[in-house]
Structure 1
Amino acid sequence: MSDGTLRLLLPRFLRRFPADLAAIVLLVLATGVATLAPVISETPLRVVLGLVFALFAPGYAFIAALFPERGPAFDGASASATADEDERSGSNLVERDESADAHTGLTERADPRRAGSIDGIERVALSFGLSIAITPLIGLVLNFTPFGIRLVPIVLSIGGFTLLASAVAALRRQALPVEERFEVPYRAWVGAARAELFEPETRLDAVLNVVLVVSLLLAVSSVGYAVMVPKSGESFSEFYLLTENESGALVADDYPQNFTVGQSQPLTIGIGNHEHEQAEYSVVAELQRVSIRNNSTTVRERQELDRFSRTVPANESANWTHDVTPSMTGERLRLVYLLYRGSPPAEPTIENAYRETHLWVNVSS
């Protein structure tokens, strides 16, 4: 079954949809699947598609909507092809003035270039430049919405913008005459590349073609290796305490300082996992009476308030509320939280903890 027959099986609106914009739509859909699907999102395909999705697709769709007409580069190619046909047919334009004039007039009438159109190189360059501008702007807008700058809102926002711009670009192209519409010359590029690679004119051209192919293979292999085996970087865990302000937002400020025996006050405990793998954490909460002399701290009495465990996925954070209910009274007591990877030891202390954070509090009766 030929390509033309397969194309006729598609709905009419899909047959009329430009091929380059269809590729952009497929890229958006593939990136959404590679980013949000549970299994595929853990593969390097997410990184490869995500880079093209964020740094090229929105700008290309936007440029396609602004400039639906053909650019001068394609006209030059058309004029060159016409000149080659005239040379092959042996036409003598000098002797046939009238035919030359008629041919020139026909070329002028068939010239599809419009004022303000751009060529292919400008289109590609502007696609990268506008994508670098559009993506941060979308992130800035999301920052002032309840959704925030998170993975799902970013993918949906950039994808929605790209699909909308692609639809506008397709409608604007269809409104133009066929000879004026922008079209990527895939077949011409493939034919030229095939002739250059497999039918070199000289031995030097053949050698250069081999060097070019080897260079491309090395470049693709290097990028693939960098994506498949990324550098892990520094591994660490964040451990912090938060409180709720008057609007209900979590902030690292205005911690409670005065407690009463038997009365609870809430604190929010947070763990940020940057260990590049899922981690099991244990937290031990203690209220300690300490003495400090010569920059040395000695624990004189301790009361264990609570202990709990949490599983935090890689590159994610977990917050939960802990109600502090002290039973020890005193001034300037140390409310300490000790973080361990895995199970805590029999006698947890600040010295053997993986991370620790504490507050100085007063507890009255």
Structure 2
Amino acid sequence: MSHRTSTWTRFEFVRRYPFDLAAVSIGAVFAYLVVTSFASESTLRLAVTFPLALFLPGYALVSILFPAGERDARETASTAAESRPRGIDATERAGLAFVLSLAIAPLVVLLLPLVGLSLTATSIAAALVVVTVVTAQVGVLRRLRTPAGERFSVSPIASLGSLGRGDTALATASSILLVLAVGTAVSALFVAFLLPASAGGFTELALYSEDEDGEIVAGELPSEVESGESIPLTITIENQEGSDQEYTAIVQEQRLEDGEVVDRAELRRIEASVSDGATGTGERSVTPTAESGETVRISVLLYEGEPPASPTNENADEETHFWVTVTGE
């Protein structure tokens, strides 16, 4: 008999588990799986990012702050304060969820570097999911400890029925308009930050060299080199595209006349795999083939994936260069 009672108790807890908070937790986990499984330009990834950043964390926090439902209009303020915790309706919860989420997301971004984590789409999504799920479970406990007749519950049919009742209809309509206005403003702000990242992020290419002390520095590439002498280079590729990338770097020697390239020669071709959020570094050397007395441009042309048949500075995804004069015999 005790075994049956224990089993029934467990099922009773599942039956009483708030549907809205279960949906919030499951939705957050689903959003994380989409963010980490789809490319940054994916429409589905963009769609799930909105609720994960702008609604779910705030809604979970609201469930802790306001476990009770809306007070009955017949209750006086003093009676309600003595008999039950303060409650709000579903429309007010939605509005507060937007506002609180707008405060939670920046805090998560600020705290991640403090705990030694890099700011990537995966780390930010994971942090938001942890905050949402943990907060939602605390909200479940708060709500279940509220008397059954007073706790908040999701009832769409009852909410729709209240829309046609006099002052209630006017107040509800005003609350809905307020939520829509807040949601529109917050979404527009979020899109302004999100669209540059969803458009493909960025890749940064840089050239470095060693100084006399063996330190890697920028702007120290030689302007002159003897014929047949090699030039050591350190090439760095920073990948902030939102996903792992395959790159091809082509080092060209270019001879220019009147600002136009009249001759080009490929000195090296480098293939590199760089993880999202990482910086790949490679040390290479190139040997100009120009004749003594000629000044040539050494260009590094970077392509995502396979380069075109005729690589140029104009069709490269990223490009950097320096000038060198060949001296001696």
State the TM-score, normalizing by the size of structure 1.
Answer: 0.57
Written as runs of structure 1 = structure 2, the 5 A alignment for 1:1-365 is 11-37=11-37, 44-72=43-71, 75-76=72-73, 113-114=84-85, 116-189=86-159, 192=161, 240-243=205-208, 254-258=218-222, 261-262=229-230, 264-269=232-237, 282-288=248-254, 290=255, 296=259, 304-309=266-271, 319-326=280-287, 333-339=296-302, 342-345=306-309, 350=313, 356-361=319-324
2:58–2:104 Cα contact (<8 Å) kept = yes
Deviation at 1:50, TM superposition (A): 2.7
The whole-number CA distance in structure 1 between the counterparts of 2:241 and 2:92 is 44
Letter of the structure 2 residue corresponding to residue 256 of structure 1: E
Indicate how the Cα distance of structure 1 residues 33 and 298 shifts in structure 2: closer, same or farther if over 3 A, else same. Answer: closer
The whole-number CA distance in structure 1 between the counterparts of 2:315 and 2:91 is 61
Instruction: Report Cα offsets for 1:294-330 as digits up to 9, x if no partner.
Output: x535668x664202456899x9998452512435687
SS of match in other structure, 1:264: strand
The whole-number CA distance in structure 2 between the counterparts of 1:266 and 1:287 is 17
Deviation at 1:112, TM superposition (A): 5.2
Of the structure 1 ranges 133-142 and 355-364, higher mean CA displacement relative to structure 2 is found in 355-364
Percent identity, please. Answer: 30
The whole-number CA distance in structure 2 between the counterparts of 1:271 and 1:109 is 57
SS of match in other structure, 1:177: coil
The whole-number CA distance in structure 2 between the counterparts of 1:255 and 1:13 is 67
1:287–1:326 Cα contact (<8 Å) kept = no
1:262–1:326 Cα contact (<8 Å) kept = yes
SS of match in other structure, 1:68: coil
The whole-number CA distance in structure 1 between the counterparts of 2:283 and 2:41 is 33
2:36–2:122 Cα contact (<8 Å) kept = yes
Indicate how the Cα distance of structure 1 residues 113 and 121 shifts in structure 2: closer, same or farther if over 3 A, else same. Answer: farther
Indicate how the Cα distance of structure 1 residues 331 and 66 shifts in structure 2: closer, same or farther if over 3 A, else same. Answer: farther
Indicate how the Cα distance of structure 1 residues 152 and 264 shifts in structure 2: closer, same or farther if over 3 A, else same. Answer: same
Letter of the structure 2 residue corresponding to residue 62 of structure 1: L
Letter of the structure 1 residue corresponding to residue 31 of structure 2: T
Instruction: Report Cα offsets for 1:9-42 as digits up to 9, x if no partner.
Output: 9644423322221121121122223333469x98
SS of match in other structure, 1:335: strand
SS of match in other structure, 1:188: helix
2:250–2:301 Cα contact (<8 Å) kept = yes
When Rg is computed on C-alpha atoms for both structures, the one with the higher figure is 1
The whole-number CA distance in structure 2 between the counterparts of 1:42 and 1:281 is 18
Indicate how the Cα distance of structure 1 residues 19 and 111 shifts in structure 2: closer, same or farther if over 3 A, else same. Answer: farther
Indicate how the Cα distance of structure 1 residues 32 and 279 shifts in structure 2: closer, same or farther if over 3 A, else same. Answer: closer
The whole-number CA distance in structure 1 between the counterparts of 2:201 and 2:45 is 24
1:242–1:270 Cα contact (<8 Å) kept = no
Considering only aligned residues, what root-mean-square deviation do their CA atoms show, in Å?
Answer: 4.9
Indicate how the Cα distance of structure 1 residues 156 and 363 shifts in structure 2: closer, same or farther if over 3 A, else same. Answer: farther
Deviation at 1:63, TM superposition (A): 1.0
SS of match in other structure, 2:220: coil
Instruction: Report Cα offsets for 1:228-250 as digits up to 9, x if no partner.
Output: xx9xx9899856325499xxxxx
Gaps of 5+ in 1: 1-6, 81-103, 197-229, 246-250
Gaps of 5+ in 2: 1-6, 165-194, 211-215
Instruction: Report Cα offsets for 1:67-93 as digits up to 9, x if no partner.
Output: 222332xx23xx59xxxxxxxxxxxxx
The whole-number CA distance in structure 1 between the counterparts of 2:273 and 2:314 is 23
Letter of the structure 2 residue corresponding to residue 57 of structure 1: L
Letter of the structure 2 residue corresponding to residue 240 of structure 1: L
State the TM-score, normalizing by the size of structure 2.
Answer: 0.62
The whole-number CA distance in structure 2 between the counterparts of 1:278 and 1:167 is 34
The whole-number CA distance in structure 1 between the counterparts of 2:70 and 2:62 is 12
Letter of the structure 1 residue corresponding to residue 233 of structure 2: Q
